[in-house]
Amino acid sequence: MALSNRVPDLTGLQLLLAVAKGGSLSQAARELEITQPAASARIRTMEQLIGVALLERSPNGSRLTPGGVLLADWARPVLEAAESLDAGIDALRTRRNTRLRVSASLTIAEYLLPAWLLSLRNQRPDTVVSLTAGNSKAVADQVLASQADLGFVEGTTLPVGLRGVPIGNDRLVVVVSRNHPWAKRRSPVPAEELAETSLIIREEGSGTREVLARALAKHGGPAAPLLEMASTTALKATAISGAGPAVLSALAVTDELASHRLVSIPLQDVDLSRTFKAIWPAGHRPAGPSRDLLSITRMR
C-alpha cells in the first residue's frame, strides 16, 4: 500500500511528542540532539505538509494546537511500532553476526576447515558455526538453496547463480598398497593405461571425480569404477587392503605415504591439479562471519 505524501517522517513525529511532553520546543530539540532552528524548521515543514497548524508559541513555551494534539495521539502507536521494527532489525543483524552456516566438500572439511574455524573462533568467539560436509555438488546445492552462508568446493565448474574465488591449490594422487603390482613398477603410468584401469574413486558429483574425468577426457574418460565411495577414510582403507588403485587428495594421504601403508604412483601426461574455491550466492557479497572466514582462507 502506497503512503500518502502528507505523512510526516518519524523524526518530525518524535519532535511533536517531545513538545507535547515538555511544553518547550527548545527542550524537545535538546532531547533529539538537534538545534532549535532545525526543530522550528521541521515543525514548519510538517505544518506545510499537513496543512494544519501544530504548535502555539508563547513567551512561556509551546503547546500543541487541537490539530497537533490529534496528530500526536495518532503518532504514538506509529512510533511504538517503529521502535519494535527497529528492535527486530537489530536482533536480525545480531543473529546474522553470531551464526555462520558452512558447507564444505569432504577434503576441505576434514583437512583444512578445522584450522580455519579455530582462527575464526579467536576473532569471533561468540559466533556459532554449523558445518555440513558432502561432495562439491551437494555443497553448491546447499548454497544455492540458502541452506549455507558460505561453501567450499573442489570441482572445476560452478553452477549458474554462484560466485566463487580461489582459496588454494591441491592435487590428486593415485595410490596403491605396497603389495600392489604398480608399487613395484619403475616407469610412470601413462594416461592411456590409467584411463583403462578400474579405480577406487569418489561418487558422482564429487570434485575428485570431476577432476579425474577432465584429466582423462582425451582418452575416453575413466573406466567404470572398481568401487565408488563417499568417504575418504573408506577409500584409503580399501586401497590399503590391496583392492586396487585409489584416487585421493594428496592432503588426505600424507600419513599413509609417510608410513608406507600406501604408495603414490607417478603418472605420465596426467594433470590432476585442482583449485579449491569458496562460493556464495551471486549478487550477495559475504558479510560478517562469512567475510571474516573468507579472509582467513585467503591468508593461508
Share of the chain above pLDDT 90, in %: 60
Q: What is the mean pLDDT of residues 152-179?
A: 92
Low-confidence winner among 78-87, 94-103, 142-151 (lowest mean pLDDT): 94-103
Whether 199 and 189 have beta carbons less than 8 Å apart is answered as no
Q: What is the pLDDT of residue 88?
A: 65
Confidence category of residue 117, pLDDT binned at 50, 70, 90: very high
Alpha-carbon span 222 to 144, nearest angstrom: 29
Q: What is the pLDDT of residue 97?
A: 58
pLDDT digits (tens, 9 = 90+) for 57-74: 887 778 889 988 999 899
Whether 187 shows a pLDDT value over 60: the answer reads yes
Alpha-carbon span 227 to 91, nearest angstrom: 49
According to CATH, where is 3.40.190.290 located in the chain?
A: 101-281
Q: What is the pLDDT of residue 62?
A: 84
Q: What is the mean pLDDT of residues 147-152?
A: 95
Q: What is the mean pLDDT of residues 150-178?
A: 92
**Could you name the CATH architecture of 10-96?**
Orthogonal Bundle (1.10)
According to CATH, where is 1.10.10.10 located in the chain?
A: 10-96
Rounded (to 5) percent helix, strand, coil in the chain = 50, 25, 30
- CATH topology for the 101-281 domain: D-Maltodextrin-Binding Protein; domain 2 (3.40.190)
What phi-psi label fits residue 90: left (phi over 0), alpha (psi between -120 and 50 degrees) or beta? alpha
